[in-house]
Amino acid sequence: MEKLALRRNGAITAAPDPAFWAGRRVLVTGHTGFKGSWLLVLLDMLGARVTGLALEPDTTPSMFNLIGGASLCDHHVADIGDATAVEATIAQAAPEIVLHLAAQPLVRRSYADPLDTFRTNVMGTANVLEACRKTPSVATIVSVTTDKCYANDGRTEGYREDAPLGGHDPYSNSKACAELVSACWRDSFLAERGIGIATARAGNVIGGGDWSADRLVPDAIRAFSAGRALAIRNPDAVRPWQHVLEPLAGYLLLAEALFSNPTRFSRGWNFGPAPTDMASVRDVIDLLANHMGAAHQWKKQAGHHPHEAATLTLDSSDAADALGWRPRLPLDRALSLTVDWHRAADKREATRKQADELLGRVSA
């Protein structure tokens, strides 16, 4: 399949192919969340026929409601922990491609409620994959996990896809388990039917429309907008920051590749930022404050905090070599776009404009 391509810093970068997605039946789990809402807009712009399966948005405000997400898909409210509801929705939708994003995505919440985290991230994934196995139309599945699925051994070089899985906290561990569940369904059921299934591991996503608690950029925007000092748990922690559109483009490219060659592409894939965009928490806050025009106000949060890795980076060279995917938006640009989105009066239009930039329809 011929790929659309953009050039960034001299490197050719593939873009999702509208000819592939136009009219394609796609089911997205977790479509009411932050990443899911951005994905709805991308798929709408690409011409896909989308069914969404998720809980109602869990923040007020929510990006899903601000962009009119229910008008962009056949909107179904269900818990992926409910196997019967999941099976019925997927059977009714008869999708060709399933993009599984639904999850309990917060580390600190996983400490507060580990059982619900495992129920959602492990059994929820099993429910989705089992429903796909029973639905004859399904040809391709992309199951989204996280960069935190790796057993963090303190290394400073990027984790490659063959690094051991693990996870200290319940969230990370549950996502490593979701990787194993996906591999089990692939080897036991899906491969023999020619269904491609891959897992996708992205970094710390940022962008407009994220109002989640205990996430650095949303917390900083709230604090700076209110003129308060931001309390930071680990200012020297290094993470792979990236704009939310970056991994979403990777998921779509991966789905295209899986559809055409399920045997070759059915495995785990990293979609992390460029090495130059790995940054400490304090560096991200400095850049964000500059874009907001806010005084640099932060303090180290006192007290005991649950364990978090000091350093976490990804090696995404496989995705570059095999899929043509490369990050397009440097960290400073990603933060600038985030601030621009929050300042925009029309959130749906701002979302589409930024998605246009990623798809190469306007210049960055």
pLDDT attached to residue 307:
54
CB half-sphere exposure, 230, CA atoms < 13 A: 28
**What total of structural domains would you count in the chain?**
1
Taking 90 as the threshold, does the pLDDT of residue 2 lie above it?
no
Distance CA 281, CA 298 (A): 11
3 within some domain = no
Tell me the per-residue pLDDT of 317-336, one tens digit each, with 9 for 90 and over. 999 999 999 999 999 999 99
Q: Please answer whether residues 216 and 178 qualify as being in contact, where contact means their C-beta atoms are separated by less than 8 angstroms.
A: no
Rounded CA-CA distance 218/347 in Å is: 16
* Residue 364: predicted pLDDT: 36
Contact in structure between 119 and 277 (CB atoms under 8 Å): no
Query: In this structure, is residue 5 part of a structural domain?
Result: no
pLDDT band at 12 (very low <50, low <70, confident <90, very high): low
pLDDT band at 30 (very low <50, low <70, confident <90, very high): very high
DSSP assignment letter at 158: P
Contact predicate 324/318, CB 8 Å: no
CATH no. for residue 336?
3.40.50.720
Summarize pLDDT for 109-165 with one digit per residue, the tens. Answer: 999 999 999 999 999 999 999 999 999 999 999 999 999 999 998 888 899 999 999
Q: What is the pLDDT of residue 26?
A: 99
User: Domain range spanning residue 256?
Assistant: 13-359
Q: What is the pTM of this model?
A: 0.93
Q: Where are the beta strands (DSSP E) in the chain?
A: 4-8, 11-15, 25-29, 49-54, 74-77, 97-100, 140-144, 196-202, 204-206, 230-232, 238-243, 268-271, 278-280, 298-300
Distances in Å between the Cα of 291 and the Cα atoms of 105, 118, 282 are: 27, 38, 15
pLDDT at 304 over 90: no
Question: Does 282 map to a domain?
Answer: yes
Asked whether residue 297 is domain-assigned, the answer is: yes
Q: What pLDDT is stored for residue 6 in this prediction?
A: 47
Mean pLDDT score across all residues of the chain: 91
Q: Is residue 145 situated within a structural domain?
A: yes
- Residue 225, in any domain of the structure: yes
| Bond from prior residue into 235 cis (ω within 30 degrees of 0) | no
* Token pair of 88 as six digits: 């019925």
